[in-house]
Amino acid sequence: MIGKFEELVLLALIKAGPSSQAAKVYEVFEKTQSKMPKFAAMYTALDRMANKGLVSERLDETGPKPRRMFTITGAGRLALDEAVNATRNMQAFGTGLEGGAHV
């Protein structure tokens, strides 16, 4: 199971497209999220998910400076699907807070 932040990073990576630089993934965050994570936190999450095999990483050396490019893997897609489905199931179940219950 992946955490909510990893879920958001994977969703942003899909929206950014295959072989995306971290900066492009961060741009998706800027356009879609009201609360922005630190760039370093997103980069750390990408590194962690690369180590877990959820994203693949390659080095693009065509420009003057090498760039790390990220793509979601099949395992990453499965983990994302599980996370999204778990959230949907929880929402379908309800929070149990309706009708005046207090937390």
Closest C-alpha among 78, 71, 76, 77 to residue 25: 71
Average pLDDT over residues 70-98: 85
* β-bridge mates for residue 75, sequence order: none
* Residue spans per domain, the chain: 4-91
pLDDT tens for residues 11-28?
A: 999 999 999 999 999 999
Spell out a b/e string for 39-68, using b for 16 or more CB atoms within 10 Å of the CB, else e. Answer: eeebbebbeebbeeebbbeeeeeeeeeeee
Is the model's pLDDT at 38 over the cut of 90? Answer: yes
pLDDT of residue 1: 82
**Where are the alpha helices (H) located in 1-103, listed in sequence order?**
4-16, 22-32, 39-52, 74-93
Closest CA to 70 of 52, 93, 95: 52
The CATH number given to 4-91 is: 1.10.10.10
